Chain A
Amino acid sequence: MTAIIDYGSGNIFSLGSALERIGEKYTVTSEESVILAAERLILPGVGEASHAMRIIRERKLDLILQRSKVPVLGICIGMQLMCSYSEEGETSCLALFSPKVKRLLPEGVKIPHMGWNSVNDIKGSLFEGIKEGECFYFVHSYAPELSISTTSVTEHGSLFSSSLESGRYFGTQFHPEKSGEAGERVLRNFINIRKLIL
């Protein structure tokens, strides 16, 4: 069972639908006992960072996430919230990943970065069976800078981390639940990560 962490983020329905399509049971919750009992957690993402961080702290989800021992996947802003700091609303974040989240610069490109773009220099367990340069669906104006935990990069004006991995923490800047078959493969790969990291 996957627990989708409820911090008031929009469009959880799509993520739940994608999990259903790949045969994974899920629940949407902010209850400590349910989160701690889940086999894996997803921090979904549509919204604004500082507002999201306020709700996360109000619901003590930051403390619960630290106490959990299972794999956690952040999607889009969900991953950004797992970074150390976000320029969006100038907020400190959960610091489960080291990089900072910076605004994308409109250097000859349109912001928000919206649409399908290739994910390069892929590594790590999320990309099992995915070909180098595969396209995924992005919608965002901020992104994590490159860092030691970067497991793929994407270019839009400049390079940013399109995925991160550090211990039991995983994140994608793209939306796997909206990225066709390749996206479903990434979700399946996440689900197949067992509780190996304790």
Chain B
Amino acid sequence: MVRKRIIPCLDVLGGKTVKGVNFVNLTEMGDPVDMGRFYAEQGADELVYLDISASYEGRGSFRNLVSRIAKGVNIPFTVGGGISSADDASALLDAGADKVSVNTSALENPALIDKIASKFGSQFIVVAVDAVEKDGFWQVMKKGGRFYADRELFEWSEEACSRGAGEILFTSVGHDGTRAGFACSTLSLLSTMLPVPVIASGGAGTMSHFAHVFYEGKADAALAASVFHSGEIPVPELKRWLAGQGISVRL
């Protein structure tokens, strides 16, 4: 049985890892390669690196850093932020990235998903979907959760899959940074509906939140940042605890 994955997410700004709460108030953390290696040794299953400067200022991606990560880290990693063409994706693949994640650029140009998937395979493209709930309607957001996009979570996720997305990374903007748990009921609907793995993001605060996101949220993977970076939830302890709860994780 394929294991449930634990994925620390590292936001990168100017070559350094930073942590954000609700995408603002950034505090500097450390070297992205050192942190990646640390998490790999701790038993993290995968890493996500987001170049947050890229989506803010429309800058190109961080290719050199990606190569340093590929050299130093022995588990798979996804990179995202500012990927707006198949050429951008191709440069990151050559630099050693295992997957790219697209968000705003896919909303503005959905055919980008088809292009990347047909050129490099579905396994290479993760579509990140940020959404916020308003009166039972899940409104998709773009540009780092700062603007509304004219799309709804379920129909956009389904379209992304039919265009070739290999995974959906769903962030509940309302849960993100609250540490009050993941958006489990929505995740469960999404995961049941989609033919591809769903990565849950936004709201991790305690170890039991991770158990809930796998049991009730039916997520294939759970992503978090601050609870890992602060050391509040050490990855080895989390995975041992999840295994004790009957969740199939890699130990």
Contact = CB atoms under 8 A, between A and B. Distances in A.
B24 interface: no
B96 A14 contact: yes
B75 interface: yes
Contacts of A14: 70, 96, 98
7 contacts: A10-B124, A47-B121, A114-B123, A115-B220, A175-B76, A178-B74, A179-B75
Interface stretch (A17-25, A31-39, A53-61, A64-72): A17-25
A106 B120 CA distance: 22
Contacts of A156: 1-2
Given A155-B1, A156-B2, A114 B166 contact: yes
B70 A116 contact: no
B40 A113 contact: no
B250 A116 contact: yes
A137 B121 contact: no
Interface in A131-149: 135, 137-140
A90 interface: no
Given A13-B67, A114-B167, A115-B220, A137 B76 contact: yes
Given A20-B71, A46-B121, A115-B3, A13 B95 contact: yes
A13 B1 CA distance: 29
A147 B127 CA distance: 37
Given A17-B96, A114-B167, A115-B221, 18 more contacts: A10-B124, A11-B93, A13-B67, A14-B70, A17-B72, A18-B74, A46-B121, A48-B121, A114-B2, A115-B197, A115-B220, A116-B2, A116-B5, A135-B250, A175-B76, A178-B98, A180-B75, A183-B74
Interface residues of B, number: 32
A140 B67 CA distance: 24
B205 to A, nearest CB: 24
B70 A21 contact: no
Given A114-B167, A115-B220, A11 B96 contact: yes
B172 interface: no
Given A20-B71, A116-B5, A155-B1, A110 B196 contact: yes
Given A135-B250, A139-B123, A184 B74 contact: yes
Nearest to A48: B121
B28 interface: no
A6 to B, nearest CB: 13
B98 A11 contact: yes
B195 interface: yes
Interface in A144-188: 155-156, 175, 177-181, 183-184
Contacts of B3: 115-117, 135
Nearest to A177: B74
Contact of A115 (B5, B74, B120, B124): B5
B75 A110 contact: no
Contacts of A178: 74-76, 98
A17 B40 CA distance: 15
Contact of A112 (B1, B74, B122): B122
B94 interface: yes
A63 interface: no
B45 interface: yes
Interface string A111-126: 1111111100000000
